Amino acid sequence: MSGSNELTAAQRADLRTVAAMIVPESAEYRVPGADDPAVQADMLATLGRDTAPVAQALDLLAKLAGKPLAELDDAKRDAVAEQFRASGGAAAATLVRVVLQCYYRDDRVLRSLGLELRAPFPKGHVLQDGDWSLLDPVRARGGTLRRAT
Amino acid sequence: MKNDPVDVLIIGAGASGAAVAWSLADTKMHILCLDQGGWMNPAEYPSTGRDWEAKFFGEWSSSPNVRKRPEDYPINDDNSPIKVVNYNAVGGSTVMYTAHWPRLHPSDFKVKTLDGVADDWPIDYDALTPFFEENDRMMGTSGLSGDPLSPLSHPPMPPQPLGLSGPLIGKAMNKLGWHWWPSDTTVATMDYEGRARCINLGHCTPACAQGAKASTDITYWPHAIRAGVEVKTHCRVREILTNDEGMATGVVYYDKDGVEQFQPAEVVIVACNGVGTPRLLLNSVSGKFPNGLANSSGLVGKNLMFHPYAQIYGYVAEPTDSNRAPPTCLWSKEWYDTDLSRGFVRGYGVQFVRGAGPVFEAVVSEQKGILPWGKDHHRVFRKLNGHRLGFSAICEDLPEEHNRVTLDPVLKDGHGIPAPRIDYTISENSRKMMDHALARGREVLEAAGATDLCVNSPIPWGGWHLLGTARMGTDPERSVVNEWGRSHDVKNLFIVDGSIFVTSGGVNPTSTIQALALYIADQMKQRLANLFD
């Protein structure tokens, strides 16, 4: 049902599966996978203008898999993913981008990365002034501007 | 519907339109500016929300074809490896730019004399010097005076901090014995003329919620409006009309309700950028001007110059500034001037990039194939995120008539006005320049200890600089406007945007565009008694 404003149940299921293939859960880094219900809910709630290309990408995935992605064994799923990335074009890129942009704003993920859970404004960030003596060699070399005489 | 006539009508409220409006305001003429966009609301800027990075892929994309706001017009750039990016609002593309603020060099105005290519400008750098200085005060620049390889400037504010990324780049450049210097920028590093100082929101390009980055909606326009200039928003101009004497009489535009209006004017000034200006002129066809207005030379729309960007970036072990600082902070002019031993003529400026935010890093690195799917994703992402350093060369694009803007025969905007079509190829000279830049960038990044180097050459969505499509000159057969911006063909029609550039130089052009607009306004003021002679 490419082009609709909402994804079908089958498309949502495949989205969950492919999201976990892109970013799986990690005990080592204490982060959820991109199939986490909160991350998935964020994706579905904010799909907006990306709905049509994401649906198109999911249709392609379904076609390549022949059945729900979750029902394929790991090897077959990896093969489908490889085909999907090679042939999916802009729609596949949009799907991957949607997964990543929602995953990398999840509180648990940002915390794991040591990032603050906030918008940049209004607090901003503090920058070190840096060592301005690094410019001394540039000043010492000097130079002239080229001009027509 | 017909409106009361005005003395001066300016089309476009961006970088050049704002500057020329402000300068002409002291004449006390009745000045009206029409813009297809509206006033921006900083409370809605991306950096105010947690989804700040995602917005850059959608409604805050730099591409009008992706953004698709009602204020945008579509651009057919299928036949160009470099896609046009812009912003349509009061402030124009100064709302959405990196605020990097180099000037063209003196040598850029004399490329034919110096290097035997393209054409010399009809004016020189010295003619613009006072206007560069005036513009720097109005826009509010920060920087460090004394760069030995750049034109002398006097930024009223100190430079941005070097942060974490600056010293890594500086040390690498010093190791190689190459020039680098803190960039002049229009990011306020202290409170300035009602603007709050930069607090390093980081995501500067798609508009600054702090108001530290200069855009003309918060610099020139408040002054111009206080001085009596009127701005009408959401008004898209379709064509410029002329009378039997070949003088412009005014413009036809669609107002915010989509109603067609006629605005009479004694003087018309076009400030729509290097794509919007030829589009408007080519769409202003009449019996007297069958090939478009001001186009007796046939050069309207031709000689489009973009600045192909050759970008290389990599990842160092040390943390970089990532998204916690303005994206650009340093430049290099090491390869700016011609050295024929390099295999090409002219040269390029370099802007160094401090880093990227996490979403951008993940999305782009996945696309580049360096961030895998699956169980290794987390380890690799932690190696990449917050460790990026970039080197972007802005390659001088020489004018070539086959690089051009025309009217698309099919594609139209929301008002039925033909969209611009871009036909553009990167020249052999530019290709060699880009390859040279990538090789130097690789050396710099490796000297900084970077690995996993990635290349964008050209940056596909890098058509920020829209130049050359209504060039200035003294010969009416080889130029569209004269040496002070007046159309050779239509004596009360002026052009003040980047389309009048004769050559492109190898730097971001906005500073020079605005200095030119102020220069033209000054020339007009000096000739008010015989402006149409």
pLDDT digits (tens, 9 = 90+) for B111-155: 999 999 999 999 999 999 999 999 999 999 999 999 999 999 999
Give the nearest partner residue to B58 out of A49, A104, A127, using CB atoms. A49
| Structure tokens belonging to residue B514 | 């605005």
For residue A128, list chain B residues with Cβ-Cβ distance below 8 A.
161-164
**pLDDT band at B329, cuts 50/70/90?**
confident
Q: How many Å apart are CA B508 and CA B490, to the nearest integer? A: 30
Contact B484, B524 (CB under 8 A): yes
- Using the beta-carbon criterion (under 8 Å), do B162 and A104 form an inter-chain contact? no
Q: How many Å apart are CA B332 and CA B504, to the nearest integer? A: 17
Q: Is B52 on the interface with A (CB under 8 A)?
A: yes
The residue among B347, B346, B364, B348 whose CA lies nearest residue B356 is B364
- Using the beta-carbon criterion (under 8 Å), do A97 and B57 form an inter-chain contact? yes
Tell whether the model's pLDDT for residue A1 goes beyond 50.
no
- Using the beta-carbon criterion (under 8 Å), do B362 and A24 form an inter-chain contact? no
- Using the beta-carbon criterion (under 8 Å), do A101 and B114 form an inter-chain contact? no
Give the nearest partner residue to A145 out of B106, B161, B162, using CB atoms. B106
Q: Is B256 on the interface with A (CB under 8 A)?
A: no
Q: How many Å apart are CA B114 and CA B97, to the nearest integer? A: 31
| pLDDT, average across residues A13-20 | 98
Tell whether the model's pLDDT for residue A27 goes beyond 60.
yes
State pLDDT tens for residues B485-501: 999 999 999 999 999 99
The contacts of residue B324 (CB under 8 Å, 6+ apart) are: A125, A127, B163, B200, B202, B355
| pLDDT, average across residues B367-380 | 97
Residue B288 Cα, gap to closest chain A Cα (Å) = 41
Characterize the bridge pairing of strands B309-315 and B451-456: antiparallel
- Using the beta-carbon criterion (under 8 Å), do A134 and B362 form an inter-chain contact? no
Q: How many Å apart are CA A117 and CA B185, to the nearest integer? A: 29
> Which residues, in sequence order, are bridge partners of residue B328?
B353
- Using the beta-carbon criterion (under 8 Å), do B358 and A113 form an inter-chain contact? yes
Tell whether the model's pLDDT for residue A4 goes beyond 80.
no
Output the pLDDT for position A3.
43
Q: Is A79 on the interface with B (CB under 8 A)?
A: no
Give the nearest partner residue to B49 out of A102, A119, A139, using CB atoms. A119
For residue A26, list chain B residues with Cβ-Cβ distance below 8 A.
375, 378
Q: Is A140 on the interface with B (CB under 8 A)?
A: no
Q: Which residue of B has its CA nearest to A128?
A: B163
- Using the beta-carbon criterion (under 8 Å), do B374 and A24 form an inter-chain contact? yes
Q: Is A148 on the interface with B (CB under 8 A)?
A: yes
State pLDDT tens for residues A76-134: 999 999 999 999 999 999 999 999 999 999 999 999 999 999 999 999 999 999 999 99
**pLDDT band at B203, cuts 50/70/90?**
confident
User: In which region does residue B104 sit, left (phi positive, over 0), alpha (psi from -120 to 50) or beta (all else)?
Assistant: beta
Residue B339 Cα, gap to closest chain A Cα (Å) = 12
For residue B151, list chain A residues with Cβ-Cβ distance below 8 A.
145
Tell whether the model's pLDDT for residue A142 goes beyond 70.
yes
- Using the beta-carbon criterion (under 8 Å), do B174 and A138 form an inter-chain contact? yes
Q: Is A54 on the interface with B (CB under 8 A)?
A: no
Q: How many Å apart are CA B99 and CA B170, to the nearest integer? A: 20
ipTM, interface predicted TM-score of the complex: 0.96
Give the nearest partner residue to A138 out of B166, B180, B362, using CB atoms. B180
State pLDDT tens for residues B437-484: 999 999 999 999 999 999 999 999 999 999 999 999 999 999 999 999
Q: Is B514 on the interface with A (CB under 8 A)?
A: no
Q: Is A119 on the interface with B (CB under 8 A)?
A: yes
Angle, alpha carbons B19-B20-B24 (nearest 5°): 120
Q: How many Å separate Cα B188 from the centre of its chain?
A: 19
**pLDDT band at A5, cuts 50/70/90?**
low
User: Between residues 150 and 209 of chain B, which touch chain A (CB distance below 8 Å)?
Assistant: 150-151, 160-164, 166-167, 170-171, 173-174, 177, 179-182, 198-203, 209
Contact B261, B61 (CB under 8 A): no
| pLDDT, average across residues B203-219 | 94
Average pLDDT, chain A: 94
Q: Is B49 on the interface with A (CB under 8 A)?
A: yes
The residue among B431, B426, B510 whose CA lies nearest residue B466 is B510
- Using the beta-carbon criterion (under 8 Å), do A50 and B58 form an inter-chain contact? yes
Cβ pairs bridging A and B (under 8 Å): 163
User: At what angle are helices B428-447 and B165-176 packed, to 10 degrees?
Assistant: 110
Output the pLDDT for position A149.
73
Give the nearest partner residue to B201 out of A96, A103, A120, using CB atoms. A120
Interface residue of B41, B68, B363 to substitute, partner A, most A CBs within 10 Å: B363
Comparing B145 with A6, the larger pLDDT belongs to B145
Tell whether the model's pLDDT for residue B206 goes beyond 80.
yes
| pLDDT, average across residues A16-21 | 98
| pLDDT, average across residues B240-260 | 97
Output the pLDDT for position A114.
96
Q: Is B460 on the interface with A (CB under 8 A)?
A: no
- Using the beta-carbon criterion (under 8 Å), do B375 and A96 form an inter-chain contact? no
- Using the beta-carbon criterion (under 8 Å), do A126 and B200 form an inter-chain contact? yes
User: In which region does residue B449 sit, left (phi positive, over 0), alpha (psi from -120 to 50) or beta (all else)?
Assistant: left
Interface residue of A23, A26, A43, A121 to substitute, partner B, most B CBs within 10 Å: A121
State pLDDT tens for residues B163-189: 999 999 999 999 999 999 999 999 999
For residue B358, list chain A residues with Cβ-Cβ distance below 8 A.
104, 110, 113, 115
- Using the beta-carbon criterion (under 8 Å), do A23 and B377 form an inter-chain contact? yes
User: In which region does residue B416 sit, left (phi positive, over 0), alpha (psi from -120 to 50) or beta (all else)?
Assistant: left
Task: Output phi, psi for B406, to 5 deg.
Answer: -130, 180
* Helix (H) or strand (E) run with residue B125 in it: helix B125-139
State pLDDT tens for residues B281-326: 999 999 999 999 999 999 999 999 999 999 999 999 999 999 999 9
Contact B504, B396 (CB under 8 A): yes
CB atoms inside a 10 Å sphere around CB B249: 17
Tell whether the model's pLDDT for residue B243 goes beyond 70.
yes
The contacts of residue B302 (CB under 8 Å, 6+ apart) are: B401, B402, B403, B404, B469
Q: Is B113 on the interface with A (CB under 8 A)?
A: yes
Residue A18 Cα, gap to closest chain B Cα (Å) = 10
Give the nearest partner residue to B167 out of A134, A137, A145, using CB atoms. A134
Q: How many Å apart are CA B86 and CA B308, to the nearest integer? A: 16
The residue among B321, B332, B308, B338 whose CA lies nearest residue B391 is B332
Which residue type sits at B360? F
Average pLDDT, chain B: 97
